[in-house]
Amino acid sequence: MPSIPQIKLPSGRTIPQYGLGTWGMGESARNRTAEVTALKLGFDLGVTLVDTAEMYGSGGAEEITGEAMAGRRDELYVVSKVLPENATRRGTIAACERSLKRMRTDRIELYLLHWRGSPPLDETLDALLSLQRDGKIIDWGVSNFDTDDMEELADLDGGDDCASNQVLYNLTRRGIEYDLLPWCNQRSIPVMAYSPIEQGRMLGHKTLATIAARHNATPAQVALAWLLAQKGVVSIPKATNHDHLRENLKSLDLKLTTDDFATLDQGFPPPKRKQPLGML
């Protein structure tokens, strides 16, 4: 099994650079067994990070995560998120308690504000810090925050302890490279990339096919290997198909060359100016 590198958080603790996404899980009872089995297989193959949220399947993905983690909780690194409409001080704490109950656990390693909402940011931060002091969460962070949001957060008392920012990032969505990714790198804040293969929509691109042929690899492996080569980036692909899960994991062993990176830049040009932060 490939070894999964660790990235250091501002706290000094570490986070695996590769994990399992659960977006879209928990939405159909008939898929529950397959989804639990897929997560268990990922854990068996050595993946220890699992990313979920109270929004996914209206809590269903957290329940699936909890079922899959049974008997091996201490091996794993759990990421979950609070919805912005719940992100008042009292609401954040209550949402976290519900997530803990659904996942049958006593703590969440990394708890994120899913995106900016109407509750004041300092109120959400106060709740996150309270949860951290109480041991309900180990580290806290944000999701879908652009550079100006991150600067506003950093100016708050305690805001410079943000552990991560989870955003849409892949070869077809490179806008964060202009300012957000460098901003986070300068502060050693890992960026978690969701939809790392654009839900499969990028995989027919001829550039990916060209490089995949060079390495006897697949387009998905090339796209994931490129992402894993970016400084301070965590990738969290979702897969319920067992072959896809194994295929994705092999991207950890794929080493792209300087020529490969140049070819990918031609096929997927990096940004030349500020772009709006993408969301799915």
Q: Sheet with 137-143: list strands edge to edge.
A: 19-21, 49-51, 77-82, 108-113, 137-143, 165-168, 191-194, 233-235
- Indicate the residue type of 109: E
Name the percent of the chain lying above pLDDT 90. 96
Q: What confidence tens digit (pLDDT) does each residue in 183-222 have?
A: 999 999 999 999 999 998 999 999 999 999 999 999 999 9
Show Cβ contacts of residue 152 under 8 Å, excluding neighbours closer than 6 positions: 121
Q: Given 3.40.50.170, 3.90.180.10, 3.20.20.100, 1.20.272.10, which CATH number is that of 16-200?
A: 3.20.20.100
Kindly state the helix (H) or strand (E) to which residue 86 belongs, with its residue range.
none
Distance CA 82, CA 100 (A): 12
φ, ψ dihedrals at 147, nearest 5°: -60, -45
pLDDT digits (tens, 9 = 90+) for 47-101: 999 999 999 999 999 999 999 999 999 999 999 999 999 999 999 999 999 999 9
pTM score, two decimals? 0.97
Please compute the mean of the pLDDT values over residues 227-248 and round it to a whole number.
95
Residue 134, pLDDT above cutoff 70: yes
| Tokens found for residue 86 | 């719940």
Confidence check: pLDDT of 129 > 80: yes
List C-alpha distances in Å: 135 to 77, 100, 110. 15, 12, 11
- Residue 194 token pair: 């969701």
DSSP calls for 99-118 = HHHHHT-S-EEEEEE-S--S
Q: Determine the average pLDDT of the residues in 168-177.
A: 98
Predicted confidence (pLDDT) at residue 1 exceeds the cutoff of 70: no
